[in-house]
Structure 1
């Protein structure tokens, strides 16, 4: 296909050019490396949970102390996402992504040397900073090389790596800990990201960032030729479809400006509520089920079904978002997540709970995983990494609240039925917030072509 050009001879709109091409092997390389980064991120994020029982036995760590260790990681994740986004919009997606991956690799290795719970908390906080910084930049880099017609599906596919990394880490930990001890999990979680950091350096910088920062036309053209494969074009100037006024703002100022403020707050609200539910369920579901009379093994199996269902839901949601209004797709996903979470709380037997849990997880996973793709399509190049990063960072505080709230509700004597029923409320609030964003006039169906070209 011939690239679309503006009316000015020798000028190429880079997003229109990418949209006019097939998804090339060069773009597949970007997708695969970003996917592997997210897999490593998922592994390292979940690693502390897999080693917790061993730490409790070896060090005699109390549940309160272990809770502090888990919280330290979550706080690091939140701050890493908040800081990295603006940095990436200023200095580029590629260098910030490479540094982020190297940081969580190095501090994961350092975690393996910890000799106390306090030291472990410090290393996990620093590891979390790198983990939180990596995700928004992997999202932004991939989104800015993806054609608009397949963007949501590709970004959601990348995000499935997080679940796979977290689940795969559990299987690997089960094999490694009895043979090599709990420290071996963090060694693997450190070495792999360091290798990936080198792979990230082989990726190109975001094509949209290069145009935004007026990089040499020859360098931009060289990257586009690798994207296009055999397609030939001549261009002395490259452009973006972004509003020129947006370039004059700082990234944070842009996402909080009047033009984007409503959408920004609704994205934050939606993601915060979804992460609150997800972390409360995944953190406390084994305990809740165990207290109904199930064995620890049965409780762990039922709890594992919740995040497992999210992978299929995320893929389906991404496919639908590329075809119909993404706000409706995500809103429906959150609504039914609330419905099935409520049903889980009223399950009359273990067999019903086993059937309902993966269905609730499917809808919750679909909604959560699709949010970065929605945010990436909403913001222009100047503030995209900041917008995605701040949404993810704000959401992490929802995860902290969910983890703390679960323990507090249990301490107050509430059981599984009451707690899961209460979680229907934030799920429905998430559905309302994302619907409000769509109805506010931002990224409406009549504007989809314009918004697609902005991502």
Structure 2
């Protein structure tokens, strides 16, 4: 075997070789992690009426159960990013999926609301830690010219899981009871943990950044680049993002080179989740109070999370043009669509089209932000950067749930509530334009690079 004294650039190898079955396996495992996150997020809302019936709980008493997972999600994301930048993506991913599987399984045996709230918080910690690391690991196995498309496609597991969770819960609860949904939500991740331990590799970019043994790096890259890496004795990493000398992942994220961009990403993701949770939690109630039949109101509302698969198209655009501007336009269109829902009260056919359309644009924009964050940060701060955006954004989910409750308590009109809920979309759009101003991204260079790759 011929030994090469020339160092091999990891990203160049990923860019120059076809996307391998090994990389598709990484994609599939990460996709299923995000799918389970979506399933769990939606299923708890469908369990709520059964809890009221079985335990005689008031709607106010249910609030801690519904919000406990959101606080857990924030805590999990904020802590797991820095951990993954220190200990590795795989180790934190396996641990977090194990935590949410065990906690969700235990939730199915909860005897009262207090126990369920604590277990929902722990489930949230695991879920919150898993998602940003799945995004980070996936992005670090992608060629530059397809990174946003593939990362967004993987992130589509979330809205698909949410829709699937809703439809499955609607079938399972009347047949097997509400505990069956949590039982399924707990057993499935535990099966996935076994597959992750056996099949999931550590991020090859992370291994190079941490100067891990060359044999280990070569063994992984051989499954992508074949014999071309057989004699390579040294692997190197070039960063498209400015390299920070900060010692920790959080130090990178808050360093002068990244600080303003980080804050704008946090703001955009926060505002997106204000809208998502405001509408997902309150649309059925608002439609019902506007005189729409309860079953119809539920079915129309269920269309909202379905549209997230449009993120694949946005990913395709982001790989070719200016990603900040593309997502900003998405949020601006979301504001128009949500405002329009408020103007269509009583028109069921129009509402169906508007709710699905608003969901498609909003979820597509929101699902594109993790890929944007993954591309923004260097390897030594990427997991923290993605995780902190997702973690701080979760507080937007909590704020969104309370926002509509407050507006409704003030007896605000249907149209006015949707006008207020549309405003966060405009704030998110402005935040991304500020990020573009502070950290200019050259869309024409990206297009030229993509053309050269083909």
TM range (shorter): over 0.9
1:390 alignment partner, one of 388, 391, 398? 388
8 Å contact kept, 1:15–1:241: yes
- Residue 360 of structure 1 aligns with which residue? 358
SS in 1 for 2:235: strand
Structure 1 position 350, deviation (Å): 2.2
8 Å contact kept, 1:288–1:415: no
1:330 alignment partner, one of 320, 327, 330? 327
- Residue 400 of structure 2 aligns with which residue? 402
8 Å contact kept, 2:243–2:378: no
Question: Matches of 1:339 and 1:388 in 2, distance apart?
Answer: 28
Structure 1 position 416, deviation (Å): 2.0
SS in 1 for 2:244: helix
Question: Matches of 1:248 and 1:437 in 2, distance apart?
Answer: 21
- The residue correspondences of 1:218-229 to structure 2 (distance < 5 A) are 218-229=215-226
- Residue 45 of structure 1 aligns with which residue? 41
Moved more, 339-348 or 435-444: 435-444
Q: Which runs of 5+ in 2 are unaligned?
A: none
Deviations 1:50-104, CA, capped at 9 Å, x for gaps = 2111111000111111111111111001111101000000000001000000100
Question: Matches of 1:223 and 1:276 in 2, distance apart?
Answer: 40
- Residue 83 of structure 2 aligns with which residue? 87
1:448–1:259: structure 2 CA closer, same or farther, 3 Å change rule? farther
1:229–1:268: structure 2 CA closer, same or farther, 3 Å change rule? same
Structure 1 position 115, deviation (Å): 0.8
2:163 alignment partner, one of 143, 157, 167? 167
Question: Matches of 2:121 and 2:364 in 1, distance apart?
Answer: 28
What value does the CA root-mean-square deviation take over the aligned residues?
1.9
Question: Matches of 2:205 and 2:113 in 1, distance apart?
Answer: 44
1:148 alignment partner, one of 132, 140, 144? 144
8 Å contact kept, 2:321–2:444: no
- Residue 431 of structure 1 aligns with which residue? 429
- Residue 342 of structure 1 aligns with which residue? 339
The answer to whether the aligner puts 1:62 opposite 2:58 as a matched pair is yes
- Residue 232 of structure 2 aligns with which residue? 235
Question: Matches of 2:39 and 2:439 in 1, distance apart?
Answer: 39
Structure 1 position 448, deviation (Å): 5.1
8 Å contact kept, 2:242–2:257: no
- The residue correspondences of 1:59-138 to structure 2 (distance < 5 A) are 59-138=55-134
2:302 alignment partner, one of 301, 304, 309? 304
Q: Which runs of 5+ in 1 are unaligned?
A: 1-7
Question: Matches of 1:171 and 1:300 in 2, distance apart?
Answer: 11
Structure 1 position 446, deviation (Å): 6.6
1:109–1:79: structure 2 CA closer, same or farther, 3 Å change rule? same
Question: Matches of 2:243 and 2:152 in 1, distance apart?
Answer: 30
Moved more, 332-341 or 224-233: 224-233
Question: Matches of 2:280 and 2:406 in 1, distance apart?
Answer: 15
Structure 1 position 32, deviation (Å): 0.5
8 Å contact kept, 1:75–1:396: yes
1:292 alignment partner, one of 285, 290, 293? 290
Structure 1 position 245, deviation (Å): 5.5
Question: Matches of 1:175 and 1:279 in 2, distance apart?
Answer: 23
- Residue 3 of structure 1 aligns with which residue? none
The answer to whether the aligner puts 1:36 opposite 2:32 as a matched pair is yes
Moved more, 435-444 or 27-36: 435-444
Question: Matches of 1:446 and 1:95 in 2, distance apart?
Answer: 38
Structure 1 position 248, deviation (Å): 4.4
8 Å contact kept, 1:10–1:234: no
SS in 1 for 2:321: coil
Question: Matches of 1:448 and 1:264 in 2, distance apart?
Answer: 22
8 Å contact kept, 2:244–2:255: no
The answer to whether the aligner puts 1:24 opposite 2:20 as a matched pair is yes
Aligned length, in residue pairs? 444
Please give the TM-score of this superposition, normalised by the length of structure 1.
0.94
Question: Matches of 2:378 and 2:243 in 1, distance apart?
Answer: 11
Structure 1 position 157, deviation (Å): 0.8
Moved more, 88-97 or 437-446: 437-446
Structure 1 position 27, deviation (Å): 0.2
Structure 1 position 247, deviation (Å): 4.9
2:265 alignment partner, one of 267, 277, 287? 267
1:90–1:34: structure 2 CA closer, same or farther, 3 Å change rule? same
- Residue 215 of structure 1 aligns with which residue? 212
Structure 1 position 442, deviation (Å): 4.2
Question: Matches of 1:446 and 1:12 in 2, distance apart?
Answer: 28
- Residue 276 of structure 2 aligns with which residue? 278
1:299–1:244: structure 2 CA closer, same or farther, 3 Å change rule? closer
